[in-house]
Structure 1
Amino acid sequence: MNRSIRITSLFSLILILVLLANLTWIQGFRDDELAQNPLNGRGFFEMKSTPRGQISAGGQILAESHQDEQGFYQRDYVTDPEAFGPVVGYLSDIYGAAGLESGYNSVLNGSDSSLFTSQWLDVISGKPTHGANIELTIDPTAQEAAYEQLSQSGYEGAVVALRPSTGEVLAMASSPSYDPNQIVDPATAEDAWAEYTTQDGAPLLNHATQESLPPGSIFKIITTTAALENGYNADSTVTAASEVTLPGTNTTLTNYGGQTCAGGGTTTLLTAFSLSCNTAFVETGIDVGVDALRAAAEDFGVGQTYDLGLDNVPGGLGEIPDDAALGQSSIGQRDVEMNVLQAAVMAGTVSNGGVRMEPYLVSRVTGQDLSELSTHQPKSAGGIEPEIAEQLTELMRASERNTSGYAGVEIASKTGTAEHGDEDTPPHTWYVAFNNDIAVAVLVKNGGGFGTSATGGQVAAPIGRAVLQAAGGF
């Protein structure tokens, strides 16, 4: 055979084999991924030809569909869309899907394999095919209170409230937010998208789950857990010095405002926790070691994500190469990052006697006749020993009593003021708290307008208490 023909034939054979391998990969392993991709035009218009299920919370419809003049079903967001937008998301002809509209797309459009039986019965009985409905764990009263607390003050940040005994998310507010109707309506979509994607504060981002930031002193809950698991107790002696020098460096870390802790010298772990003394936790973290700190963080879920139907980032402790880095990490600085959902889970774990429950947003899936098709079963995800949780609860109650705005309610809490950027950048402010099987976490970014002197107790704590009360925490 002619050499050129042989080469051409061999090359053609290789191309055919590559084509077959690619086809097998797509059909065998990526079929579902590509079919469910919100940018898949054919699948998208098939979806819009079927009545999509409702999204509801607390008996209120948040999202529903109506049929337009062309016979396609368009999405409407009918209840307080800005308060619920970052959770519910949107379904747009132009920009695809986001939030639960994306994460539960196959359930809402009726194509999920779990719906096969109900859809088959509809076909047999001659009923038109419908998507299934999802009912959320969100408490509308708590959700609206959380969003109003953030938005009315013009804060950038997020709030999460949950029920520690089950993992039900009762509120998940993000600010700034957006109106999904503006993205869905073809008449306003392009202008709205241009505005939202260029606006300061990234309103299309769910700041409760999609953003992780330094937690500052709320991380001392984890450092304290590591200490309690390694021989410390509330009466253990710790430093009360106004500053400490990080090992192997000339760098010093100070308490807030350079103050001594309880008069200087030494104090107890209880006092250091209630006054949030940085120096005590720098030395304690170095003493218990990096492995203990990482193990405690993992027990609380730092570095993990959850199957919520929403994108969520894992956070983590970052690299901790030496004791100097360990000291900084022990007070929630350096490379330590958490998102607001993780902070709420952390507080909820302590509240629940040390048992960490997986957070979830969808409680039930129902058919077009509202009959129950499935219900979520709460799941444990690990946690800490009950005795440790009991000790942490008492420490956090002492912390609440030393927080500005304390109103005499036996809340267990911890504030955080997290430095970032340079010395002229206002800190992120945090607050985590629990009471009455309700846990809450609050983040207000960049000091909330209070400048470099902003603190978690001043900015974030009032929001946390208001949401805790709205959710039934007291």
Structure 2
Amino acid sequence: MNTPLRRLASVVLVLFVALMVGTSWVQYVQADALNNDPRNVRNLYREFGNARGPIVVAGQAVASSAPVDDAFGYQRSYTDGELYSAMTGFYSVVNGRSELELAANEQLTGRGDQLFFSRIRDMLTGRKPEGAAVETTILPAAQLAAREGLGDQEGAVVAIEPSTGKILALVSTPGFDPNVLATHDTKAAGAAYTELAAAPGNPLLSNATRETYPPGSTFKLVTAAAALESGAYAPDTQIPSPVVLDLPQTSATLPNFGGESCGGETVSLADALRVSCNTAFAQLGMDLGDDAIREQAERFGFDDDSLRIPMRVVPSTFPADLNAPQTAQSAIGQFSVQSTPMQIAMISAAIANGGKLMTPYVVQTVRSADLTTVRDTKPELLSTAVSPGTAASLRDMMVGVVQSGTGQAAQIPGVQVAGKTGTAQTGTDEAPHAWFTAFAPADAPRVAVAVLVEHGGSLGSDATGGKVAAPIAKAVIEAVLGQ
């Protein structure tokens, strides 16, 4: 009998140990994951049952919560929801969160580490917990100018203060109304999400930060920077500029836009940028080599998957292992080069800031419910993209683009604007994308901007970056400088 009893006791002991280990694992190791699981209904009621902090633009709440008489306790609502949707995102009982509502959730709910003492105070005083206010860097006038400039066209606008990295405008079209997703009518919220997810242009996905596009000739800024940084080129260096460039290792050729001449068999680097000469930059790219261009692109932020503003920005990419014709096409922003509008704005911002690229950010201050500042964002250097001398040369070359080149539609009386156009082929039968990036004033920059209009917008196949995107950038710059 002793042997069977010992075996039974051993089995029971093992079961008890397994139960204790399993319980401890769930209660301690998996606690955070289970609490934060969107399927956890108790967590959902607990989160909605507290006052969520507001998202603030220039002192005014554009997202706020108010008490309501239902099971959730508070209703999220948005002012000018469509205008700010690419920045705020949505907060929904059914569909979760997106953009800043997701990235700043710990602060908005009051659960962030920075709000620890506020939670202790609430616990000791019996005060109902409240989330913190998240104050953004967005400038309403710039945001509105960007949105009105895009109109019914699909695209994006990003504006950055070069010296700090503050994001002054962040617009994606088509936008959406977050209020239809914030409703506590779960059936209606689910139906609204399904409709928006299937809508043309995918309004729920920000074109400014979450989509990449061929950057076209705006990428010539990167190629020009690589040339100047090599020490072998200066703005007045003459480079070959045939009307049509024969690509090596293939029977294919690369023409200039509209089959036009760039002014002769050779052209200065500055003039090549001014008139956006495809053949000159394609040949320059092959002469530099793909490694040099890739290294320069990475110094501007390409291939970096760590950028948070605090929302995630998908990485812009420069392809690897290129042969000569692929390098030629990549040097003018084609082949498989892909970029977000945020990345293009960062290129201009770095040039404007003497070569120093500041980390972009959209949250300036986080304040607890008693208005105590718990976080204030300080400007932070992301990288040194180019030397001050190269930045100065690029600035002067970009001024030439706006004064007498392809970007003349961005001219502002009394203000010197530095810019670069782009008209990017998509590899399909659809019209090319229209790009423009700029900063101003050129001698003391206060804003850098990137504009993308998908598939030529209202002009379709007749569009160029200079015709379609440059006037939008001009309006945004004027809005910033007018403040």
Query: C-alpha separation between the residues in 2 aligned to 1:300 and 1:21?
Result: 49
Asked if the contact 1:137/1:169 (under 8 Å) is kept, the reply is yes
Asked if the contact 2:138/2:167 (under 8 Å) is kept, the reply is yes
- What per-residue deviation string (whole Å, max 9, x for no partner) do you get for residues 76-126 of structure 1? 334211000121111111111111111111111111122111221222233
Query: C-alpha separation between the residues in 2 aligned to 1:99 and 1:416?
Result: 28
CA-atom RMSD in angstroms:
2.6
Q: Measure how far apart 1:440 and its partner are.
A: 0.5
- Give the counterpart of 1:434 among 433, 439, 459: 439
State the one-letter code of the partner of 1:200: P
- What per-residue deviation string (whole Å, max 9, x for no partner) do you get for residues 44-73 of structure 1? 221011111111010111111111113634
Q: Determine the structure 2 residue equivalent to 1:385.
A: 387
Q: Determine the structure 1 residue equivalent to 2:368.
A: 367
Query: C-alpha separation between the residues in 1 aligned to 2:370 and 2:77?
Result: 21
**The 10-residue stretch of structure 1 (136-145 or 116-125) with the greater mean CA deviation from structure 2:** 116-125
Asked if the contact 1:281/1:330 (under 8 Å) is kept, the reply is yes
State the one-letter code of the partner of 1:405: A
Asked if the contact 1:38/1:102 (under 8 Å) is kept, the reply is no
- Give the counterpart of 1:405 among 379, 404, 409: 409
Query: Alpha carbons of 1:88 and 1:270: their partners in 2 closer, same or farther (altered >3 Å)?
Result: same
Query: C-alpha separation between the residues in 1 aligned to 2:258 and 2:172?
Result: 30
Query: C-alpha separation between the residues in 2 aligned to 1:382 and 1:26?
Result: 43
Q: Determine the structure 2 residue equivalent to 1:241.
A: 242
**The 10-residue stretch of structure 1 (167-176 or 364-373) with the greater mean CA deviation from structure 2:** 364-373
Q: Determine the structure 2 residue equivalent to 1:415.
A: 421
Query: Alpha carbons of 1:360 and 1:242: their partners in 2 closer, same or farther (altered >3 Å)?
Result: same
Query: Alpha carbons of 1:282 and 1:191: their partners in 2 closer, same or farther (altered >3 Å)?
Result: same
Q: Determine the structure 1 residue equivalent to 2:465.
A: 456
Q: Determine the structure 1 residue equivalent to 2:275.
A: 275
Query: Alpha carbons of 1:284 and 1:34: their partners in 2 closer, same or farther (altered >3 Å)?
Result: farther
Q: Which runs of 4+ in 1 moved over 4 A?
A: 16-27
1:469 maps to 2:474: no
- What per-residue deviation string (whole Å, max 9, x for no partner) do you get for residues 120-139 of structure 1? 12222332211111100111
Among the aligned pairs, what percent are the same residue?
A: 38
Q: Measure how far apart 1:473 and its partner are.
A: 7.2
Query: Alpha carbons of 1:174 and 1:73: their partners in 2 closer, same or farther (altered >3 Å)?
Result: farther
- What per-residue deviation string (whole Å, max 9, x for no partner) do you get for residues 292-332 of structure 1? 11111011111224222323210211233311111111000
Instruction: Report matched runs for 1:13-412 at 5 Å.
Output: 24=25, 27-28=28-29, 31-70=31-70, 72-150=72-150, 152=151, 154-187=152-185, 188-230=188-230, 231-262=232-263, 264-304=264-304, 305-383=306-384, 384-401=386-403, 402=405, 403-407=407-411, 408=413, 409-412=415-418
Query: C-alpha separation between the residues in 2 aligned to 1:472 and 1:456?
Result: 22
Give the secondary-structure state (helix, strand or coil) at the position aligned to 2:317: coil
Number of equivalent positions? 463
State the one-letter code of the partner of 2:236: D
Asked if the contact 2:161/2:168 (under 8 Å) is kept, the reply is yes
Query: C-alpha separation between the residues in 2 aligned to 1:114 and 1:464?
Result: 37
Q: Measure how far apart 1:417 and its partner are.
A: 0.6
Q: Measure how far apart 1:370 and its partner are.
A: 1.7
Query: C-alpha separation between the residues in 1 aligned to 2:439 and 2:23?
Result: 52
**The 10-residue stretch of structure 1 (396-405 or 343-352) with the greater mean CA deviation from structure 2:** 396-405
Give the secondary-structure state (helix, strand or coil) at the position aligned to 1:405: helix
Query: Alpha carbons of 1:147 and 1:159: their partners in 2 closer, same or farther (altered >3 Å)?
Result: same
Give the secondary-structure state (helix, strand or coil) at the position aligned to 1:229: helix
Query: C-alpha separation between the residues in 1 aligned to 2:20 and 2:357?
Result: 48
Give the secondary-structure state (helix, strand or coil) at the position aligned to 1:135: strand
Query: C-alpha separation between the residues in 2 aligned to 1:225 and 1:137?
Result: 29
Query: C-alpha separation between the residues in 2 aligned to 1:125 and 1:353?
Result: 51
State the one-letter code of the partner of 2:160: L
Unaligned segments of structure 1, at least 5 residues: none
Query: C-alpha separation between the residues in 1 aligned to 2:313 and 2:200?
Result: 21
Unaligned segments of structure 2, at least 5 residues: none
Query: Alpha carbons of 1:135 and 1:20: their partners in 2 closer, same or farther (altered >3 Å)?
Result: same
Query: C-alpha separation between the residues in 2 aligned to 1:40 and 1:394?
Result: 57
Asked if the contact 1:60/1:79 (under 8 Å) is kept, the reply is no
Asked if the contact 1:218/1:430 (under 8 Å) is kept, the reply is yes
Query: C-alpha separation between the residues in 2 aligned to 1:17 and 1:99?
Result: 41
TM-score, scaled relative to structure 2 = 0.90
Give the secondary-structure state (helix, strand or coil) at the position aligned to 1:297: helix
Give the secondary-structure state (helix, strand or coil) at the position aligned to 2:357: strand
Query: C-alpha separation between the residues in 1 aligned to 2:27 and 2:416?
Result: 57
Give the secondary-structure state (helix, strand or coil) at the position aligned to 1:100: helix
Q: Measure how far apart 1:367 and its partner are.
A: 1.1
Query: C-alpha separation between the residues in 1 aligned to 2:32 and 2:358?
Result: 30
